[in-house]
Amino acid sequence: MHCCTKFSLFGLLQRSADLLLRSVLLVWLFAATAYAEGVSVNKAEARLGENGYQLSASYDINLTFAAQQALTRGIPLYFVGEFSLTRSRWYWLDEEIFQGEQTVKLSYNVLTRQYRLSRGALFQNFASFEDALNILARQSSATIPAELMKKDGNYTAAARLRLDIAQLPLPLQVNALTGKDWALNSDWYRWIIRPAEITVRGEGKAE
């Protein structure tokens, strides 16, 4: 009788351990998915303003451990937001309507403990890393003159955000070319724009 009780208790403990292990694995998998490193497009759209059309995109940005370490040690990270706009032509190659890019510098001041985003001579300081990333995640193109786009035409817009590894210190450039520690490039995201709709919220696809 004692033997049966002992085995029953052992089986109960083993099942409890299995359930605990599965729970831990599920939590770990959820966390790994939620905080996946890299850059991906969240949403992209085109809007018509007084002076023409403007492309915009928002991104989910999760820096790799190596990138975060470099940033907190005072090494700036340069991100390039790229946009393009083309019109399909059945009789020839696609017509390029617009192509542009903008570089944004993300840096951290160890003395003031502030993050900074710089676009040319313009800059903005942030008390937290999250606030700086939220602004970096929103990218917009230069204005595209309305006369370049026909109201009855269909156009393909594309957007992406990438880390410019050429701006990193030379030793880090070598690591970036040979490993995944600096894989901070989104895929191109494409969506259709129809000027007749004025404001377009495109559902694009990653390439």
Q: Is there a single domain that holds both residue 72 and residue 137?
A: yes
Sign (positive or negative) of CA dihedral 56, 205, 42, 65 = negative
Q: Is there a single domain that holds both residue 69 and residue 82?
A: yes
Rounded to the nearest 10°, the torsion over CA 122, 120, 38, 112 is -50
Q: Is there a single domain that holds both residue 52 and residue 72?
A: yes
* Nearest CA among 150, 159, 41, 55 for reference residue 95: 150
Look up the CATH number of the domain holding residue 50.
2.70.50
Backbone angles phi, psi at 121, to 5 degrees: -85, -10
Q: Is there a single domain that holds both residue 82 and residue 1?
A: no
**pLDDT tens column, 119-177:** 989 999 999 999 999 999 999 999 999 999 988 889 999 999 999 999 999 888 887 77
Specify the number of domains making up the chain: 2
Longest dimension (CA), the chain: 91
Q: Is there a single domain that holds both residue 162 and residue 145?
A: yes
Q: Is there a single domain that holds both residue 96 and residue 4?
A: no
H/E element holding 146? none
Q: Is there a single domain that holds both residue 120 and residue 21?
A: no
Q: Is there a single domain that holds both residue 53 and residue 84?
A: yes
Q: Is there a single domain that holds both residue 99 and residue 9?
A: no
Return the residue matching tokens 């937001």: 81
Q: Is there a single domain that holds both residue 128 and residue 190?
A: yes
Q: Is there a single domain that holds both residue 11 and residue 101?
A: no
Would residue 101 be called left, alpha or beta, if left means φ above 0 and alpha means ψ between -120 and 50 degrees?
beta
Which residue range is the domain that position 12 belongs to? 1-35
For residue 202, count other CB atoms closer than 10 A to its CB. Answer: 19
pTM over 0.85: no
**pLDDT tens column, 51-88:** 899 999 999 999 999 999 999 999 999 999 999 999 98
Q: Is there a single domain that holds both residue 124 and residue 145?
A: yes
Distance, CA of 143 to CA of 118 (rounded, Å): 20
DSSP state of 185: B
